Amino acid sequence: MKVIPIYAEAGISGFESPAAEYKELGLSLDQLIIKHPNATFIGQASGHSMKGVGIFDGDILIVDRSLTAKNGDVIVANYNGSFVCKLLDKKQARLLSASADFAPVTISLEDEFSLEGVVTRSIRLHHQSPELAACML
């Protein structure tokens, strides 16, 4: 069931708000976070290898496919059939973790590999969100 809030209006007008003329559109998080809406997708981080760049288990990742990845960028790639988030080492064709507990992965010719996009933002949910509760499991 969807509930649409409709505010009651009495239709009685007193003094017009002196601020009415200064009213602007509210701030939109989309505007701040998503630069290329058609090329951007939202994913969720799973695992602990990217702590060093501030990406923790369960964080929300904003992935922009339209950008060209530069050396050292935080990227999402299809590595042998799964999405992975790593640091890109273009010079040595490696995927680096941002944690001492995880060794670099060298991409070899036998690997299935394709770049999916650049992680432009990551979002931490300090309170659990009911919409995402199911995917935290």
Partner 1 sequence: MYALVDAVSFYASAEKVFDPSIRNKPVVVLTNNDGCICAVCPIARRLGIPKFKPYFQVKSLLDKHGVVVRSSNYELYADLSDRMMNVISRFCDNQYIYSIDESFLYFDNYHSTIKDWHEYAHKIRRAVWKETKLPVGVGFGSTPTLSKAANHAAKKLSGFNGVAVIENNKSSNEVLTRMDVAEVWGIGSKIAKKLKFLGINNAAQLSRQDPKQIRKQFSVVMERTVNELNGISCLSWDEVKSPKKEIFSTRSFGQRITSKDELRAALVSHVSIVSKKLRRQSSLVKKLMVFASSSPHDELYYKQTIVYPFIMATDNSCEMAQAINYTIDSIYHEGVRFYRCGVGAIELVSKEFIQTDLFMPDHINTNLMKCLDNINHKYGDGTLKIATEGRDNKWKMRREFLSPQYTSQWRDIPKIQC
List all residues 6 or more positions away from 83 whose beta carbon is below 8 Å from its beta carbon: 43, 76, 77, 116
Binds partner 1 by CB under 8 A, chosen from 35, 65, 107, 120: 65
Binds partner 1 by CB under 8 A, chosen from 49, 69, 88, 96: 49
Check if 49 is active-site. Answer: yes
List all residues 6 or more positions away from 124 whose beta carbon is below 8 Å from its beta carbon: 56, 59
Which residue lies nearer to partner 1 by CB, 13 or 28?
A: 28
Reduce the DSSP state of residue 22 to 3 states and report it.
Answer: helix
- Side chain identity, residue 61: L
Site string for partner 1, 74-113 (x = CB under 8 A): --x-x--xxxxxx----------x--------------x-
Q: How are beta strands 82-89 and 74-79 bridged, if at all?
A: antiparallel
Judged by the rule CB under 8 A, the positions of this chain that interact with partner 1 are 2, 4, 36-39, 41-50, 55, 57, 60-61, 63, 65-66, 76, 78, 81-86, 97, 112, 114, 116, 129, 131-132, 134-135
